[in-house]
Amino acid sequence: MLKPMSVRILYFAALADRLGVRSEHVELPPGIVSVDGLRTHLAARGGVWADLGTFPKLRAAVNQRMAGGDAPIQAGDEVAFFPPVTGG
Amino acid sequence: MLKPMSVRILYFAALADRLGVRSEHVELPPGIVSVDGLRTHLAARGGVWADLGTFPKLRAAVNQRMAGGDAPIQAGDEVAFFPPVTGG
Amino acid sequence: MYLSVQREDFDVGAELARLRESSAGATTAGGAEAGAIACFVGLVRADNLGEEVRALTLEHYPGMTERALAETIEQAQQRFPLIAVRVIHRYGRLNLGEQIVFVGVSAHHRQAAFSACEFIMDDLKTRAPFWKKEETTRGERWVEARDSDTAARARWEA
Amino acid sequence: MYLSVQREDFDVGAELARLRESSAGATTAGGAEAGAIACFVGLVRADNLGEEVRALTLEHYPGMTERALAETIEQAQQRFPLIAVRVIHRYGRLNLGEQIVFVGVSAHHRQAAFSACEFIMDDLKTRAPFWKKEETTRGERWVEARDSDTAARARWEA
């Protein structure tokens, strides 16, 4: 039997404001292997989390590097979701 | 009868070094109406002045503005001859 | 390369002096010295898309920010023959007219310095994890990313 | 516009501070404030075309120099939406590593600031009446104008 996978998740800027959460640790069921998979899983929690699924132009990073939706995730990873960046 | 025309002439950088002259006032005979005409007249003085006629990539200014060989010159003008500029 | 993500303001004159120092090699080596320094300073502007901005707060992603800026600088060094690079980016609350970002680059020739300075700003704008929240006369709002910044970055791949 | 042709050195930090001051308009006017400052500093390089340079002397054409630099700045202001421009060019004898020229430009957006700063340098290089004489390990020599500078200026007319 597969063990649950623990990942740290961070939210920033307008997304964090919307969710009311800036970071969390989650135990993922087996079968969630990508950024998009994680996003779908989190959005399925319902309520405000549904917004994570529909947030426009959502960006992600895995272990502090920009990552596309099909980027793999593993136990212990730090995954971040945020709007397009506006620094400089 | 036409009066002689007086102009001030300046030389700069490698050209001034070559000629051994940095400025002069000259009285020009009638008929010298352009930068090229002036250059030919000055070079015709011979000796080191012949170098003014053959100096490579010579540039000129009339009244402190860059000027081509056919730029007109008038009494009282300040005419400068110099190599291509190398500031900055 | 020097890179700092900080809350405090910076002194552009001191930064440029440090850039000059780190660009002056042994004079006998020949060729280690910079002939050109290009720099950029970004400031908090009063007027953004027609509404008056009084201040802004820059949120960032500690850790990833430093990593992303280092990658930007490395890319610039690979693309252009540079001698030294300094980048400072602030976070936190900044008032109108305050300095946000400094990019300073030295090179033997001016075109490399100009290009690298502009590249670093264009890359940073689309990659470094900073987000601006503006305080305007009509309340707070998160700044939207600009298509012009994406286009500016895309020029470098043409 | 501020323009100076001078023998003395200049303080880049002070110049940038003045540029910032002259770029901060009345906040109520909206839009007078700069979001971007780009600057360039040219330095005496040790190594030019393979020979070691110890110092150089900049000769210039007093009067025409100021006029030519003013025309360069006016052209930049016509081509790009700028807020303030400062240009300083030194003449006389300069040692290795010394500052030769400063160009500082402020604008609402960074692309205008970068472009104007680079345009001013490219235009100045082909138009301002300065001539460099280098002191090298093999004696003195006048610096030859570079085709690359003519080409750099020509880009702006494409």
Neighbours of chain B (3+ CB pairs under 8 A): D
Instruction: Give me B57's structure tokens.
Output: 């990539």
Question: Beta C92-95 vs C51-60: how paired, if at all?
Answer: antiparallel
| pLDDT for residue C28 is more than 70 | no
Query: Are the beta carbons of D87 and D3 closer than 8 angstroms?
Result: yes
Ranges of each domain in chain D: 2-157
ipTM for the predicted complex: 0.93
Q: Does C16 contact D at CB distance below 8 Å? A: yes
Residues of D in contact with B86 (CB under 8 A): 125, 130-132, 142-146
Ranges of each domain in chain B: 5-82
Which of C58, C63, C129 faces A82 most closely, judged by CB atoms? C129
A25 band by pLDDT with thresholds 50, 70 and 90: very high
Residues of D in contact with C39 (CB under 8 A): 38-41
**Neighbour-count burial for B40-70, b at 16+ CB within 10 Å, e otherwise:** ebbbeeeeeeeebeebeebbbbbbbebbeee
Helix (H, G, I), strand (E, B) or coil at B31: coil
Mean pLDDT across chain C: 92
Helix (H, G, I), strand (E, B) or coil at C141: strand
Q: Do D45 and C33 touch (CB under 8 A)?
A: yes
d(CA D69, CA D90): 12
**Residue spans of beta strands (DSSP E) within chain C:** 2-6, 36-43, 47-48, 51-60, 82-90, 92-95, 99-107, 130-136, 139-142
Which of A57, A64, A86 faces C130 most closely, judged by CB atoms? A86
Residues of D in contact with C32 (CB under 8 A): 46
Chain A nearest-CA distance from C10, in A, is: 15
Instruction: Give me C128's structure tokens.
Output: 């470094």
- Nearest CA to D47 out of D134, D132, D126, D124 is that of D134
What pairs with residue A60 in β-bridges? A67, A81
Could you name the CATH architecture of A5-82?
Answer: Roll (3.10)
Q: Does A61 contact C at CB distance below 8 Å? A: yes
A1 band by pLDDT with thresholds 50, 70 and 90: low
Most C-contacting residue of A17, A18, A78, A86 (CB-CB within 10 A), to test interface: A86
Kindly report the pTM of this predicted structure: 0.94
Residues of D in contact with C110 (CB under 8 A): 40, 42, 118, 121
Query: Are the beta carbons of B71 and B88 closer than 8 angstroms?
Result: no
Q: Does B10 contact D at CB distance below 8 Å? A: yes
Mean pLDDT across chain D: 92
| pLDDT score of D137 | 85
Q: Do chains A and B touch (3 or more CB pairs under 8 A)?
A: no
Query: Are the beta carbons of B62 and D99 closer than 8 angstroms?
Result: no
Could you name the CATH architecture of D2-157?
Answer: Alpha-Beta Complex (3.90)
| pLDDT score of C48 | 65
Each residue of D83-141: pLDDT tens digit?
999 999 999 999 999 999 999 999 999 999 999 999 999 999 999 999 999 998 889 99
Provide mean pLDDT across the span C27-36: 62
Helix (H, G, I), strand (E, B) or coil at C79: helix
Which of B10, B57, B85 faces D131 most closely, judged by CB atoms? B85
List the single residue in C with minimal CA-CA distance to A61: C64
* Residue in the structure block whose two tokens are 């009638």: B30
Q: Does D31 contact C at CB distance below 8 Å? A: yes
| pLDDT for residue B10 is more than 80 | yes
Each residue of B29-76: pLDDT tens digit?
999 999 999 999 999 999 999 999 999 999 999 999 999 999 999 999
